[in-house]
């Protein structure tokens, strides 16, 4: 693998290096790879809530023989207005890597620019790359490593998850079909780039997106930071529900993915998320293995 300094977006990594990362995540999960980060420390900046990302990164560092520090806005100087520039320079003197979950992608980029240690994007309004690496690991576990043979359907908001799926499709060459309500399309630049690199369908019709697909994925209608828009989004997304009828249009061996947290009865029915095609808890577990692979590549 080429030596990367950060993991800010899937589009920064080549297809070969993404495949190597997924292969390593698989070996870490199976116990074949027992690499360590003994004595290394990871600062974890969270400016938004988290269950999976925080716990999986913290446990990953413990299991790798290192240590993780949780820094929230409530109890760090970031929350009182200290900029990421100084934070980057200070943390670089203490720890060996930083993960950050925040609002603006530019803040993550600024942090990386001023850090002399690796920075990992743990979710922004624009992207959620660690999640999509774990999702890809789950897809490979189910169907094997031939990414280009798969068709992925995304139902609902053109949000940080949809944008990261577009980046993954761009790099790995699989077909991605997105069904989004008007006004909730993915980021236009990320969409344009993906259209130049692989087969992308953007439709207003969930059934068209799902037809014969191998993977059906969705996410909440209102992401973190969009709580004020909950009511208007509920109206706009009313028909963008993953239910049994929609799943029947997918390939008979199709799986359902959701990054979680989920709202049963909104974007997905309980029968789908708790049903036999759902892989959501394997997907959540794979955060741990996929992120260990990322940390080892960057900090090892
Ligand atoms: N999927 C995900 O990132 O979950 P958390 O918000 O709980 O970290
Ligand atoms: N799109 C969601 C993902 C949560 C893991 C959000 O940004 O809130």
Domain containing residue 79: CATH number: 3.40.50.1370
* 222 Cβ below 6 A of ligand 2: no
**Is the pLDDT confidence value at 150 over 90?**
yes
- Centre of ligand 1 to C-alpha 50, Å, is 5
Listed in sequence order, the residues at least 6 apart from 11 whose beta carbon sits closer than 8 Å to its beta carbon are 167, 170, 171, 190, 193
Residues flanking ligand 1, CB < 6 Å: 50-53, 123, 131, 259-260
* Residues 110 and 183 grouped into a single domain: no
- Ligand 2, atom 3: nearest CA belongs to which residue? 223
* 224 Cβ below 6 A of ligand 2: yes
The stretches of 38-180 forming alpha helices (DSSP H) are 52-63, 84-94, 105-114, 129-143, 160-172
Domain count, the chain: 2
- Centre of ligand 2 to C-alpha 185, Å, is 16
DSSP helix/strand/coil, 37: coil
- Ligand 1, atom 1: nearest CA belongs to which residue? 259
* Residues 152 and 216 grouped into a single domain: yes
Place of tokens 């290192």: 66
Q: How far is CA 33 from the centre of its chain?
A: 23
- The catalytic residue positions are 101, 128, 131, 219, 259, 287
* Residues 143 and 24 grouped into a single domain: no
What is the rounded average pLDDT for all residues in the chain?
98
Residue 42: both structure tokens together = 């990871």
Q: Model confidence over 225-260: pLDDT tens digits?
A: 999 999 999 999 999 999 999 999 999 999 999 999
Listed in sequence order, the residues at least 6 apart from 46 whose beta carbon sits closer than 8 Å to its beta carbon are 53, 54, 70, 71, 72, 73, 100, 101, 122
Show the domain range for 83.
10-128+285-299
> What CA–CA distance (Å, rounded) separates 190 from 180?
15
Strand partners, 176: 152, 200
CA 279, 284, 287 angle in degrees (round to 5)? 130
Q: Model confidence over 51-98: pLDDT tens digits?
A: 999 999 999 999 999 999 999 999 999 999 999 999 999 999 999 999
């Amino acid at each position: 693998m080429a030596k990367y300094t950060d993991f800010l977006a899937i589009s920064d990594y080549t297809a070969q290096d993404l495949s190597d990362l997924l292969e390593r995540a698989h070996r870490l999960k199976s116990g074949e790879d027992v690499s360590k980060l003994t004595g290394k420390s990871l600062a974890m900046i969270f400016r938004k809530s988290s269950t999976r990302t925080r716990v999986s990164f913290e446990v990953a560092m413990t299991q790798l023989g290192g240590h993780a520090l949780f820094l929230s806005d409530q109890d760090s100087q970031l929350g009182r207005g200290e900029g990421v520039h100084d934070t980057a320079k200070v943390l670089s003197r203490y720890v060996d890597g930083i993960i950050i979950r925040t609002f603006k992608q530019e803040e993550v980029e600024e942090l990386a620019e001023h850090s002399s240690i690796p920075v990992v994007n743990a979710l922004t309004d624009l992207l959620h790359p660690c999640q999509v690496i774990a999702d890809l690991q789950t897809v490979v576990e189910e169907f094997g490593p031939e990414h280009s043979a798969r068709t992925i359907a995304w139902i609902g908001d053109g949000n940080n998850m949809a944008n990261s799926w577009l980046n993954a499709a761009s790099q790995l060459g699989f077909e991605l079909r997105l069904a989004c309500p008007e006004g909730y399309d993915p980021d236009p630049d990320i969409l344009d780039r993906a259209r130049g690199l692989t087969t992308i369908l953007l439709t207003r019709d969930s059934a068209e997106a799902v037809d014969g697909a191998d993977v059906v994925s969705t996410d909440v209608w209102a992401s973190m930071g969009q709580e004020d828009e909950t009511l208007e989004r509920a109206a706009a997304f009313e028909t963008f529900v993953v239910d049994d009828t929609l799943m029947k249009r997918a390939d008979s061996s199709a799986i359902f993915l959701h990054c979680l947290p989920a709202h049963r009865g909104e974007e997905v029915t309980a029968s789908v998320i708790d049903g036999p095609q759902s892989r959501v808890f394997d997907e959540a577990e794979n955060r741990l293995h996929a992120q260990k692979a990322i940390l080892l590549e960057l900090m090892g």
